[in-house]
A and B are shown apart, each in its own frame.
Chain A
Amino acid sequence: GDSVTQMEGPVTLSEEAFLTINCTYTATGYPSLFWYVQYPGEGLQLLLKATKADDKGSNKGFEATYRKETTSFHLEKGSVQVSDSAVYFCALMGGAQKLVFGQGTRLTINP
């Protein structure tokens, strides 16, 4: 079945550092790919998405590119802020029309 694998956390960075959170997936067909974010005490929010190969999703300075050849959707940000501290989830939606999530990566940004 479909699956998503994220880099294990937690990840701790200093403010203004470069961020990469790796995500790879296994799916049949052509899934859509997503990054969701969960801030402390809040629900899951969509951060960005990409629906086909080579698409780049972007939002709030975060970017991820749908790489079909490497089945990856790595999340990047050039300069993180303390307010980016949260748990980040990579997810896919394929032919079964349900979201499949990775295990999440907890990110902490220190001032």
Chain B
Amino acid sequence: DTGVSQDPRHKITKRGQNVTFRCDPISEHNRLYWYRQTLGQGPEFLTYFQNEAQLEKSRLLSDRFSAERPKGSFSTLEIQRTEQGDSAMYLCASSPERQRNTEAFFGQGTRLTVV
């Protein structure tokens, strides 16, 4: 399977714990995006990388959230001291750099439940 891969698919954690999600983009896609989707809403942009550089972070991304893409391949999204409001689907997407304004390809997402 050469699509975007996310791990884990589901995560249940207690409030106050830290969680880390992983995303493996489509091979050779330079851009990697993180989005958050809550029930009944469209995906909200969190952050994006071009290769290993984090180019933009949304105001939605509080200090408890950090994302990395150390070698320009896979990426991790960490949430520290989770809160119930962090419960959502976290989506990763990738796209090739060679074309501007091209579509992004999404993974299946990681569903986080904070109890």
Contacts and interface: CB of A to CB of B under 8 A. Distances in A.
B109 A99 contact: no
A100 B45 contact: yes
Interface string A80-107: 0000000001010110111111111000
A63 to B, nearest CB: 17
Interface stretch (A14-22, A39-47, A67-75): A39-47
Q: Among the interface residues B42, B104, B107, which one has the most CB atoms of the partner chain A within 10 A?
A: B42
Interface residues of A, number: 26
A103 B43 CA distance: 8
Contacts of B56: 96, 98
Interface in B11-40: 31, 33, 35, 40
A101 B36 CA distance: 11
Contacts of A34: 103
B43 A31 contact: no
Contacts of A46: 103, 105
Contacts of B45: 98-100
A43 B109 contact: yes
Given A34-B103, A104-B40, 13 more contacts: A31-B101, A32-B101, A32-B102, A42-B108, A51-B101, A89-B43, A93-B101, A94-B101, A97-B55, A97-B101, A99-B104, A100-B45, A101-B43
Interface of A: 4, 30-32, 34, 36, 42-46, 49, 51, 89, 91, 93-94, 96-104
